[in-house]
Structure 1
């Protein structure tokens, strides 16, 4: 049984950032897998991270946004999740953080009803909703 996976934004011959090498080895030790749509030796590009996010969203039942600015890569992931009819949940930070650059994306997603607001008081409720999903919706990549 697969216990987890990493989706790489480059070929399987390289883990980026290097600080994740030990984590990748641990994942493989516990029956996890490394996935990539790139050939061995393919290098990173800015677009390859966006494409990786597309796959992450497609393979997930739910995307949980902890913090993001309005124009960060996480917003690409949210868009792909919406396209694939995945649940998008967003940490609803305390009001004093609403105008911080790292939480403006969260505020936007919640204000536009594009994400289910969550906090540490209702995280169990979100987990129950995710676990109640019977079938993954079709993936559009």
Structure 2
């Protein structure tokens, strides 16, 4: 197990103080193109970029800060590899191509939000050699939601799809477990923290089973990084990005699931929401978001085979703008 020199360079740049994703991307691309991979090259080239206004940072870095970033990068790499965690970047051939074009729409324009780095444990071929479907939803599903999660997870795993979710309580775990019960079923858990831990801790056994059965634990955060609230929102875009379609089992109007749903829409992928027959289920606080998404243009899902057939056509869906539709929903 090893990492590429391009990836190692990106890790070192990411650890420089005040170096955001855009600066890392600009500098790393230029240095790779010029073949500059030595530690001494980093300080010299970054200083040149600052001097020529190729990049901007708030405060000039000291020699000690450059060295600290380099040392920390080497520690993270060694610790990760010693714990069977691989690190790849967009420069590597096995980096999931689905994530290279990831976009986010806000203020009337699209922004590149593709991850530069991925940390993973398991078999990445389950992502690269299979189509994926994300199955997500509330941490507190109703009985109907639990049944739906099992049904759709099992159906699409049996059809050969890799099932993507976030290993959270509720709908996520239901989808992972349903997949693991399918012969040769593979599932990917995208985590909002470093792979030194599993959150919640009670799901450690499920995480191990995911890896043992050919799936992947995936994160854009380095070994040792704790789970911050904002990371769960950032993580959601990767769920949508990996998948050709996202299935929402149950969600409230303001649920965290909405972040992944919006990422699905922003990237012009298929968003599907389970449509429950019973009005009393649809009106539950943790389910009302399903009807809202369907009103915005999400595929109303009941029979899994209908969505499966639709996916074979390669057709797209037309979604309504978020703001105007939100007003008309109430």
TM-score normalised according to structure 1 size: 0.85
- CA-atom RMSD, angstroms? 1.7
Q: Structure 1 residue 86 and structure 2 residue 272: aligned?
A: no
Q: Structure 1 residue 70 and structure 2 residue 253: aligned?
A: yes
- The runs of 5 or more residues in structure 1 that have no matched partner are 134-141
Between 1 and 2, higher relative CO (CA 8 Å, sep ≥ 6) is seen in 1
Q: Structure 1 residue 25 and structure 2 residue 208: aligned?
A: yes
Matches within 5 A, 1:1-141: 1-2=125-126, 3-93=186-276, 94-113=278-297, 115-119=298-302, 122-131=303-312, 133=314
String of CA shifts for 1:39-65, please: whole Å, max 9, x gaps: 111111111111111101000111111
1:112: Cα distance to partner?
A: 2.7
Query: Rg: which structure is higher?
Result: 2
String of CA shifts for 1:83-141, please: whole Å, max 9, x gaps: 1111111111222223210111011111232x11111xx211112333555xxxxxxxx
Three-state SS of the structure 2 residue aligned to 1:6 is strand
1:35: Cα distance to partner?
A: 1.0
TM-score normalised according to structure 2 size: 0.38
String of CA shifts for 1:13-43, please: whole Å, max 9, x gaps: 0111112111111111122221110011111
Correspondence for 1:137: none
The structure with more helix, counted as a fraction of residues: 2
- Alpha-carbon distance between aligned partners in 2 of 1:86 and 1:53, rounded to the nearest angstrom: 14
Three-state SS of the structure 1 residue aligned to 2:193 is coil
